[in-house]
Amino acid sequence: TDKHLGWRQGFDTIMLWEFASSLTPSVVGGSGIAMFIVSREGIPLGRSTAVVLVTALMDELFYVFTVPLVFLFVGMDSLFPPQLDNAFWGLPIKTIFWIGYAFILAMVASVFYAIFFRPRAFKYLLLQVFRLRFLRRWRPMVLKVGDDIVLASDELRGKRAGFWGRAFGATCFSWASRFLVVNCIAAAFFPVSDHLLLYARQLIMWVILLISPTPGSSGVAEVAFAGFFRDLFPVVGYIGAVAIVWRLLSYYLYLFMGVVILPRWLRRTSAG
């Protein structure tokens, strides 16, 4: 935001964004609500749209770049537990991962091209596709998406390399730390024999959580956690304990923080 938001405003914005994401299905996310939150902080619509879209783009870029590194250093054979085959939607876990990864890759490529090269052409293409009869009901929503991309493109063009370097560096630090949570919790219960494999499997599991139809991946997250990490824990009983702490820190904490911050934030932004 070019320092438009202070530390407190930034903290409130992130907590409320996570709160919104925890209340909506993971496949939907909280980006639309995040645009409202950022704009309510006094940032113009074009800039707030740009902030949210670039933040989401950086998140996905981290994942797109990290997965090949995981395959390089860990290998594919140990990343997909066979006990999870047919556990989700009757498909092999490897198939689900590649479908999800291909979707993320296509989304990143589309948004990147739309924002930095041809935003208006991309908007036109979207509108033409959604003129089809069976897609027409979503055309107003797609029109809004196209408008947001055009606004974001106008706002972001001309940013220096330092801006992008700092933004992506902060994103990498944030997500790398987030994926380390399970490693730290597990290490508190028992000596972890392979931290890299434990970390790598979280990256694979994240695709399952991303396409979950339940709010905050509730239910799906717990089943996936047990399936992905059972063979890495020395005692099966540790699975439940580590999963509970993990969900407390990565899900329920944001629900609690959102309930605490939201009323105060509404009063502050209304006064502003």
Q: What is the 3-state secondary structure (H, E, C) of 184-228?
A: HHHHHHCCCCCHHHHHHHHHHHHHHHHCCCCECCCCHHHHHHHHH
Under DSSP, is residue 61 helix (H, G, I), strand (E, B) or coil?
helix
Q: Residue 27: pLDDT band by 50, 70, 90 thresholds?
A: low
pLDDT of residue 254: 92
Give the residue-averaged pLDDT of 262-272. Answer: 83
Cα–Cα dist 26/39, whole Å = 23
48-61 b/e (C-beta count within 10 Å ≥ 16 → b):
bbbbbbbbbbbbbb
Q: Taking the CA of residue 15 as centre, how many other CA atoms within 13 Å lie in the half-sphere pointing to its CB? A: 21
Q: Residue 198: pLDDT band by 50, 70, 90 thresholds?
A: very high
Checking if the pLDDT of 207 tops 70, the result is yes
Give the residue-averaged pLDDT of 46-74. Answer: 86
pLDDT tens-digit series, residues 162-174: 888 998 999 999 9
Checking if the pLDDT of 105 tops 80, the result is yes
pTM of the model as a whole: 0.83
Give the residue-averaged pLDDT of 80-90. Answer: 75
The residue ranges of every structural domain in the chain are 7-271
- Residue with structure tokens 């399936």? 227
pLDDT tens-digit series, residues 127-148: 888 887 777 787 887 787 778 7
Checking if the pLDDT of 179 tops 80, the result is yes
CB-based contacts of 29: which residues, under 8 Å, 6+ apart?
Answer: 21, 56
Radius of gyration over alpha carbons of the chain, in Å?
A: 20
Checking if the pLDDT of 50 tops 70, the result is yes
